[in-house]
Amino acid sequence: MTVNGPGDHPRSLFEAPPGTGNGPAALLRVHGLRAGYGPARVLHGVDLELAAGEMVAVLGPNGAGKTTMLRALSGLVRGRGSVLLDGTELLGRAPEEIVRLGVAHVPEGRGLFAPLTVEENLRIGAHLRPAAERAEDMRRVLAWFPVLRAHLSQPAGSLSGGEQQMLAVGRALMTRPRLLLLDEPSRGLAPVATRRMFDVLRAVGSHDRVAMLLVEQDARLALEFTSRALVMESGRLTVGGPAGWPQAGRRPSLFRPGR
Amino acid sequence: MAGLLLQIVQGLSLGAVYAGLALALVLVHRFNGIVNFAQGELAMLSAYVAWQLLDAGLPFWAALPVTLAVSLVGGMLVERSIIRRVEGDRELAPVAVTVGLMVFVNAAAGLVWSFAVRSFPNPFPAALSFGSAQSGFSALGVLGVVAVMMLLLHAFFRHTGAGLIMRAVAADPVAARLSGVRVGRVLGLGWGLAAAVGAIAGILVAPLLFLEPNMMGGVLVYAFAAAVVGGFRDPVAAVVAGLGLGVAETLAGTYVAFVGADLKVIVPLLVIVAVLVLRRGPAGTAGTAGQW
């Protein structure tokens, strides 16, 4: 039995709320995305729409395919189906080309350059940007994450886990993305730093109109800060709706459709 | 005493050549994880290019940059056309390909230039030559050229945008791709730089060994030993080991009676075995990352 046939749920649950993700305003349109590793299929047809400036959380149990979905969107895993960013097909492109189209991915394990200094990590994030704007972008990122300023000439690998997470997000923001993919941005962060991180993400999202898709284990946090939450289960986005619809604090598993 | 000093200077200059080739090996390994058995033969090919230019009447210090440019482009082409097909292969394919390249380049050079031994002009003025001092002067010249090359390389990696991107690729190719770096081109540039660095070693050693297609065989063994000391990752350790090997080889050949000229080659082999045994792990697992 299928758990997510279009007939099982109101179609609107898979789409952005009216006025944000629907229609020509959608920045990202994912349709029937399938992906896997060798013979092991992980994603079984993901549909998703994301508007510019919208922040959407993907919840769900371990192994459901949340990370694989982000990896397929950024080109690290080969995907099939269709992923349109502002009308441009992303599938089949190399990760470095997808970045150049405006998609930044902060992967699990952070994707930093451990032997390079904090400043060098940020400079690499900005290497595709016009030289004249890099200094201003650097100033912006250091204003968002002031703790990094004290460690600019230190190797990234010597930072604490939480600082590395901030640096990884900062590195991604230095590319000035239109779409930011975040794999557990709160991991390794103390509660206060986590809220700070989400405050920054929300500010960037609304100010720069950056769309964000974030995988998060902390459902309460995700539902508080995002505009919508989706639940990934067994390689499909099984349910979604405006954040707050699944009440903050309740486990997302309670909202699985009955099998 | 003056004899000993001269021996040490000569050992250092020989060691500088080993260090140069070892640095080329480390460069290639840092960027695409491949041990390039053909590094010596590519250097030999560069020496022939230089010889051809000199034969056409170019002065040495004009032929050198042209040769380096040819080697840089040639190395990039080899990587982009052949090596990239086996990159990321953890098994024996890269070894087979670079060994095959070594045999091919050697045979091709023999076909084009024959296996006849040719003399190669010593670029360093013999103006100060009186007795043994002349060889000491040219040894210092070799040391100086290798030192300048290493400083330039260091400055390139430390202080240029392209160098920063190359260090990022060496540190984490996947993270580099996620920052928009076209990693394939960087890997090609890594091979090109290695070929240029190796070319300097080839050109500097050619006047000492005479030019022939097999001239780099022995040098490669020493360079391998030096690179192994640095775990094929640490350029500083490789350079220091190369210099040390040159001195050890020269001194052992002169002062240790049973070693003599014929058994010198056991010095690098002993170093390789000793390092591998003491490290208790495959080469490349040790060594410090991120130093240039």
- Closest by CA position to A91, among listed A72, A105, A107: A72
For an interface test with B, which of A90, A127, A154 has the most B Cβ atoms less than 10 Å from its Cβ? A127
The average pLDDT across A12-37 equals 68
Please give the sequence-ordered ranges of beta strands (E in DSSP) within chain A, or none if there are none.
Answer: 26-37, 40-51, 55-59, 79-85, 88-89, 103-106, 179-183, 211-215, 228-233, 236-242
B289 touches chain A (CB under 8 A): yes
Interchain contact, A116 vs B175, CB within 8 Å: no
pTM of the model: 0.82
- What is the chain A residue with the closest CA to B169? A113
Q: Which of A59-63, A197-201, B106-110 has the lowest mean pLDDT?
A: A59-63
Q: Write out pLDDT tens, residues A85-126.
A: 998 999 999 999 999 999 999 998 778 999 999 999 999 999
Name the more confident of B239 and A5. Answer: B239
Say whether residue A245 is in contact with chain B using an 8 A CB cutoff.
no
Contacts of A116 in chain B (CB under 8 A): 164, 167-168, 171, 290
Judge whether residue A153 has pLDDT over 50: yes
Q: Which residues of A touch B171 (CB under 8 A)?
A: 113-116
A155 at B interface, C-beta within 8 A: yes
- Rounded to whole angstroms, how far apart are CA atoms B255 and B250? 9
> Does B179 lie at the interface with A, CB-CB under 8 angstroms?
yes
Give A152→chain B minimum CA distance, Å: 15
Residue A184 within any structural domain of the chain: yes
CATH number at residue A59: 3.40.50.300
Q: Which residue has the higher pLDDT, A62 or A163?
A: A163
Out of B161, B171, B177, whose CB is closest to A96? B177
Q: What is the pLDDT of residue A235?
A: 84
* pLDDT confidence of residue B169: 93
Answer whether residue A35 shows pLDDT above 60. yes
Instruction: Taking residues A213-237, report their average pLDDT.
Output: 86
Q: Minimal Cα distance from A176: which residue of B?
A: B179
In chain A, how many domains are there? 1
Of the candidates B72, B96, B92, B76, the residue with the CA atom closest to the CA atom of residue B84: B76
Average pLDDT score, chain A: 82
Q: Give the closest of A95, A125, A155 to B177, CB-based.
A: A95
Domain assignment of residue A4, yes or no: no
Please report, for residues A185, B172, B215, the alpha-carbon distance to residue A196 in angstroms, rounded to integers and kept in the order given.
Answer: 11, 28, 63
B230 or A149, which is more confident?
A149
List Cα–Cα distances, A101 to A32, A40, A93, A121, A190, in angstroms.
21, 29, 10, 20, 33
N- to C-terminal Cα separation, chain B: 36
Q: Are strands A55-59 and A228-233 parallel, antiparallel or unpaired?
A: parallel
Residue A63 located in a structural domain: yes
**Shortest CA distance to A3 belongs to which of A64, A56, A53, A54?**
A64
Please check whether residue A124 touches B, CB under 8 A: yes
Alpha-carbon distance of B44 to B65, in angstroms, equals 16
Q: Which of B30, B158, B166, B179 has the most A C-beta neighbours within 10 Å, making it the best mutation to test the interface with A? A: B179
More confident residue, A178 or B133: A178
Residue A152 sits at the vertex; the CA angle it makes with A146 and A153, to the nearest 5 degrees, is: 160
User: What is the average pLDDT score of chain B?
Assistant: 86
Give Cα separations from A237 to A54, A222, A229, A253 (angstroms): 18, 16, 10, 13
Residue A12 pLDDT more than 70? no
Domain that holds residue A66: 26-109+174-255
Q: If you count residue pairs, one on A and one on B, with CB atoms under 8 Å apart, how many are there?
A: 74
A74 has a chain B CB within 8 A of its CB: yes
Nearest CA distance, B180 vs chain A (angstrom): 4
Complex prediction ipTM: 0.81
Domain residue ranges in chain B = 11-115+155-278
Q: What is the pLDDT of residue A247?
A: 45
Low-confidence ranges of chain B (pLDDT < 50): 127, 129-130, 281-292
Residue A128 included in any domain: no
